[in-house]
Amino acid sequence: MKTLAELGDLRGKRVLVRSDLNVPLDGQTITDDGRIRASLPTITQLTQAGARVVVCAHLGRPKGAPDPQFSLAPVAARLGELLGTDVAFADDTVGESARSTVEALQDGQVALLENLRFNPGETSKDEAERGAFADQLAQLADAYVSDGFGVVHRAQASVYDIATRLPAAMGGLVQTEVDVLQRLTSDPERPYAVVLGGAKVSDKLGVIDNLLGTADRLLIGGGMVFTFLKAQGHEVGKSLLEEDQLATVTEYLERAERDGVEIILPTDVVAATEFSADAEHEVVAADAIPADRMGLDIGPDSAKHFADKLADCRTVFWNGPMGAFEMAPYASGTETVARALVEATKGGALTVVGGGDSAAAVRQLGFADSDFGHISTGGGASLEYLEGKELPGLSVFDGEEG
């Protein structure tokens, strides 16, 4: 896979950089700029090389047309603040504003195009429509750099098609992500534990299936745990449950026991009368959840047990919070697991926080990115890599195009 160095002298060249700037917004206020910060090293490297940097990205899920609530204008402002320089903003993707903004760039300057998904060609399933949009993007640049790991699992115009139309390379962020994930999948240092949480077990089926042949321990929390508890014959009250996944989860439990993979489930949970911070709640045994309550966090005994199971690990991957961490009464399990990862990191273990809600959780709970070995910028992409799936935004670099 080509790196930036292999693109040669970039001074005066227009370089289109696909970043992942899909940050959470509260109106026009960015509530977590982690992804913007993660994009800075590659952009800075290019500006210092004298390139004219054209950043492109998406935000949210607009329906292929301009939508002010998904404008990247606030991101352009924050990117400029973090870079310490003005970032020119084009208020369209490949139209007159984009062309004139790029044309005005001088060596070492940066521009950001408006939300790629305002153009239907970006995410189109029709190869011709997607290709036409990629052609228009390619006219704005002399070279392409893929630096948005959070989208490499999508066959989209700015991720896949563009890399077949310009001299292309992977940016430092994508290279780092791939290097870390390779360490998780190719002869990881053991013991190797995977902590999985989040709402739905169906979102994690592929990764559980693949990790049963790789990991030594699987620690299961979050809403997905109740499907596991139900598969063991326990009642789960009003807790989140995917009935249609019970047979699959039962098979996973049997396979793990047969293959010597330890699956650790909570022994107690915080159960509430409703999904609310103000709801009446109590700690109950995981096999005795009252019929009128729902589990919203792993309990204190379970959290301590999870931490103990992580203490001697040399490799840990974590994806998905242990409970509804956004509400204080149900944040303790996630915080305890995070602290266990911090301690493991101090002891020299490779700890990887798998993006998405997990990254948001550790930041919201007051942890620094540097407390962990690596915080991924791509939740879905990380999971699909660990599932063993081919990721279009990576596989395109295996060919001879570009």
Is residue 121 annotated as a catalytic residue, yes or no? no
Residue 211 has phi, psi (to 5 degrees) of: -75, -20
Known binding residues: 20-22, 35, 58-61, 117, 154, 204, 295, 326, 355-358
Spot the catalytic one: 80, 108, 206, 380.
Answer: 380
**Alpha-carbon span 224 to 239, nearest angstrom:** 10
Q: How many CB atoms lie within 10 A of CB 15?
A: 26
How, if at all, do strands 192-196 and 217-220 pair? parallel
Spot the catalytic one: 121, 299, 333, 356.
Answer: 356
Beta-carbon contacts of residue 284 (< 8 Å; ≥ 6 apart) = 268, 269, 271, 290, 293, 299
Q: How many CB atoms lie within 10 A of CB 234?
A: 16
Q: How far does the chain reach from its first CA to its final CA, in angstroms?
A: 12
Q: How many CB atoms lie within 10 A of CB 19?
A: 30
Is residue 125 annotated as a catalytic residue, yes or no? no
Torsion sign over Cα 104, 106, 111, 116: positive
Known binding residues for (2R)-3-phosphoglycerate: 35, 117, 154
Known binding residues for substrate: 20-22, 35, 58-61, 117, 154
Is residue 373 annotated as a catalytic residue, yes or no? no
Is residue 356 annotated as a catalytic residue, yes or no? yes
**Alpha-carbon span 189 to 201, nearest angstrom:** 26
Known binding residues for ATP: 204, 295, 326, 355-358
Cβ atoms of 120 and 134 closer than 8 Å: no
**Alpha-carbon span 117 to 108, nearest angstrom:** 27
Beta-carbon contacts of residue 316 (< 8 Å; ≥ 6 apart) = 192, 193, 194, 195, 310, 341, 344, 349, 350, 351, 352
Spot the catalytic one: 2, 37, 183, 200.
Answer: 200
Cβ atoms of 33 and 15 closer than 8 Å: no
295 has which bridge partners? 271
Spot the catalytic one: 13, 18, 35, 130.
Answer: 35
Cβ atoms of 132 and 361 closer than 8 Å: no
169 has which bridge partners? 145
| Length reported for the chain | 402
Collapsing DSSP states into helix, strand and coil, what is residue 4? helix
Q: Which residues are catalytic?
A: 35, 200, 356, 380
